[in-house]
Amino acid sequence: MGEIAVQFKHISMEFPGVLANDDITLDIRKGEVFALVGENGAGKSTLMNILYGINTPTNGEVFIRGKKVEHFDPGVAISLGVGMVHQHFMLVPSFTVAQNIVLSREPKKMGVFFDNKGAEKETEKLVKTYGLTVEPSAVVQEISVGLQQRVEILKTLYRGADILILDEPTAVLTPQETDELFAVIRKIVREHGMTVIIITHKLYEVMQISDRVGVMRKGKLVGVENTSDMDERKLASLMVGRPVLYENLDKEDDIGDEQIRVDDLVVGDNRGLVAVDGVSLSVRSGEILGIAAVEGNGQSELLEAITGMRKIESGSVTIRGRQINGMDPGAIRGIGLAHIPEDRISTGVCADASVSDNLLMGKERNPEFNTLGIAQNNAAIRKYASEIYEKFDIRGAGIDVNVGSMSGGNMQKVVVAREFSFDAPVLIISQPTRGVDVGAIEFIHEQIIQQRNEGAAILLSSADLDEVFRLSDRIITLYEGKVTGEFKASEITKEEIGYFMTGKRETEAAHE
């Protein structure tokens, strides 16, 4: 057996009302890729935040290369060779790649001035050593998410990390970017003897990349296995405690009137460049139109314009027969639109408010929750929030805690639960299952199909092509803000659609 890189001994972590880690004992071996899986709220991020020194455990001990951690602090963890890439990157967007990498350890000229050339040289060296290609002088906000993640990894390597924690690194990546990341992981493990711990909800990724896998359930470590002894099905049932079957979704075909209409829409991005460039589309009642596009091709801006969160430069958007140009998000919701936004943390939830308040949002004035429009009917509110909490199997410390303290996947469930509870005739859905565990994905997919079967018109955008295919009736591809193709989901394959997502047009394909 090889050397041990990290030892957790009887680790417990208690937050008010939740035992997030419950007596965990686990060894991570030097030079292995260790995958950590488990349902939303199982305690994965909590355990890794202990290793990175962000959390101080309530009980138990951590040893790094045999040395006991006496003081839980990220500075100490970094000095012991631990690096962590969080799901939400922590780079400075206006700095260059090189400036971000050397940040806080900058080479200085004559000890005073920031030495840009020096920083770029250091970065070049790292890039060569580890084969992680990035342009040192590129500005971070102008490079893709996949490259930004590479910068995060290089930054940990620059600080001397040899134990690398990646918390859901692939949630934000395209399939191609994921392949590239995995190639990098294999290389740093094989050639540099690094130890990598990766958290993911995608079980086929566990099978692809890891040597061993640990499964957590409700704070406990319920199994550690060699990946070669496992398959996705076994992993899913270990995680959830029951078999997870992706049954065929029961679709009923009853397409009705047009509910969403977009004509020749032009929308700008944050930098004032054209992001949506003359898009037209239509969605009718009882159907799901899926958008397949590589991140950054206008899909976010398109959905923001439709929901009133971004200005329409020209063209028009009509929801249920009413043109919504210039209307604010609240007024558009009033027409009968519900929205699951891409970025749940900044626009989906109010992190400082309770779960119950978040679930009620938009319904505060309903007569059942108000007596004579003056006094809040707390009993009714609690009953309502508890019911939804149960129905969507949200896991946390109950409806009274702040949403901000919940696990990533459970925050997402709060947004989905609230938006579905409106039974709105128009649904705009972006990344509905990003960061959500397999059991919950199954449930959310069933809910989406149920809304469709009951007559909702649904516009869906997801970076997960499997999800787009599984749910959509029709699919459009977007490339650089333009529609490059429109297909019946049943008449095209994932491979074929890849062409259109990278710029080929239907008309060109027809000539081949």
Ligand X SMILES: Nc1ncnc2c1ncn2[C@@H]1O[C@H](COP(=O)(O)OP(=O)(O)OP(=O)(O)O)[C@@H](O)[C@H]1O
Between β-strands 4-15 and 59-64, what pairing exists: parallel, antiparallel or unpaired? Answer: antiparallel
Which one of ligand X, Mg ion, none interacts with residue 405, CB within 5 to 8 A by kind?
ligand X
Which one of Mg ion, ligand X, none interacts with residue 72, CB within 5 to 8 A by kind?
none
Q: Can residue 433 be called a binding residue for ligand X (CB under 6 A)?
A: no
With b for 16 or more beta-carbon neighbours within 10 A and e for fewer, the 263-278 pattern comes to eebbbbbeeeebbbbe
- Structural Rg of the chain based on CA atoms: 24
Of the candidate spans 33-41, 96-104, 178-186, 354-362, the one that interacts with ligand X by CB under 6 A turns out to be 33-41
Q: Can residue 195 be called a binding residue for ligand X (CB under 6 A)?
A: no
Of 38, 169, 286, 298, the residue at the interface with ligand X (CB under 6 A) is 38
Q: Can residue 290 be called a binding residue for ligand X (CB under 6 A)?
A: no
Nearer to ligand X by Cβ, of 25 and 133: the residue is 25
Which one of ligand X, Mg ion, none interacts with residue 293, CB within 5 to 8 A by kind?
none
Closest CB 41 distance from Mg ion, rounded Å: 8
Q: Can residue 169 be called a binding residue for ligand X (CB under 6 A)?
A: no
Q: Write each residue from 369 to 408 as x if it is in contact with ligand X (CB under 6 A), else as -, in one continuous string.
A: --------------------------xx--------xxxx
Say which residue the tokens 């499997």 belong to: 466
Could you give the C-alpha distances from 13 to 16, 44, 381, 474, in angstroms and in order?
Answer: 10, 11, 31, 46
Of 259, 299, 410, 433, the residue at the interface with ligand X (CB under 6 A) is 410
Of 7, 34, 35, 40, the residue at the interface with ligand X (CB under 6 A) is 40
Q: List the one residue out of 233, 235, 267, 202 whose CA is nearest residue 465.
A: 202
Q: Can residue 53 be called a binding residue for ligand X (CB under 6 A)?
A: no
Q: Can residue 18 be called a binding residue for ligand X (CB under 6 A)?
A: yes
Question: 458, 288 in Cβ contact below 8 A?
Answer: yes
Closest CB 437 distance from ligand X, rounded Å: 6
Q: Is 502 exposed, middle or buried (0-12, 13-18, 19+ CB in 10 A)?
A: middle
**3-state SS assignment for residue 22:** strand
Q: Which residues of the shown chain bind Mg ion in the complex (CB under 5 A)?
A: 45, 408
Closest CB 344 distance from ligand X, rounded Å: 11
Closest CB 21 distance from Mg ion, rounded Å: 12
The helix or strand, by DSSP H or E, that contains position 403, with its residue range, turns out to be none
Nearer to ligand X by Cβ, of 345 and 492: the residue is 345
Residue 72: φ, ψ to 5°: -90, 110
Say which residue the tokens 């108000």 belong to: 370
Nearer to ligand X by Cβ, of 209 and 414: the residue is 414
Alpha carbon distance 30, 193 (integer Å):
7
What HEC string does 307-362 produce? CCCCCCCEEEEEECCEECCCCCHHHHHHCCEEEECCCHHHHHCCCCCEHHHHHHCC
Q: Contact residues for ligand X (CB under 6 A)?
A: 15, 18, 20, 38, 40-46, 395-396, 405-410
